[in-house]
Amino acid sequence: MTIDFDLSTIKITPLLDTLRLENISDEIYFSEKFNGYISNSRLGLLKSKGAEAFFEGLKANQEYNSSFYFGTLVHQEVLQPGVFEIVDGVYTPTAKARLMALELYNPEGRKPTDDEIKIASYKIGYYKDKLTENRITELRNKCNKFWEDRVIFENANPYVEGDPERIYIDEKTHGLLKCCLESINNNKEFTKLLHPTGLTEEPYSANEQTILLDVQIEVPGYEPKIYKLKSKLDNFTIDKEEEVITVNDLKTTSKLAREFDPTFFSYQRELGMYGYLLKLCAEKFFNLESPKLKGNFLVVSTIPDYNTLVYPMTPQLFKQGFNEFKYLLRTVAYLNIVKRYEFQ
- In tens, the pLDDT along 113-132 reads 999 999 999 999 999 889 99
pLDDT the model gives residue 52: 95
pLDDT the model gives residue 37: 96
pLDDT averaged over every residue in the chain: 95
**Peptide linkage before 114 cis (omega within 30 of 0):** no
pLDDT the model gives residue 136: 97
Residue 334 phi, psi dihedral angles, 5° rounding: -60, -45
Please answer whether residues 168 and 177 qualify as being in contact, where contact means their C-beta atoms are separated by less than 8 angstroms: no
Rounded CA gap, 165 and 168, in Å? 10
Share of the chain above pLDDT 70, in %: 99
Q: Which residues pair with 54 in a beta bridge?
A: none
pTM of the model: 0.94
pLDDT the model gives residue 132: 95
pLDDT the model gives residue 3: 85
Q: Write the single-letter amino acid at 208.
A: E
Domain 7-60+171-338 has CATH 3.30.160: no
| Portions of the chain given CATH number 3.90.320 | 7-60+171-338
Q: Is the pLDDT of residue 1 over 80?
A: no
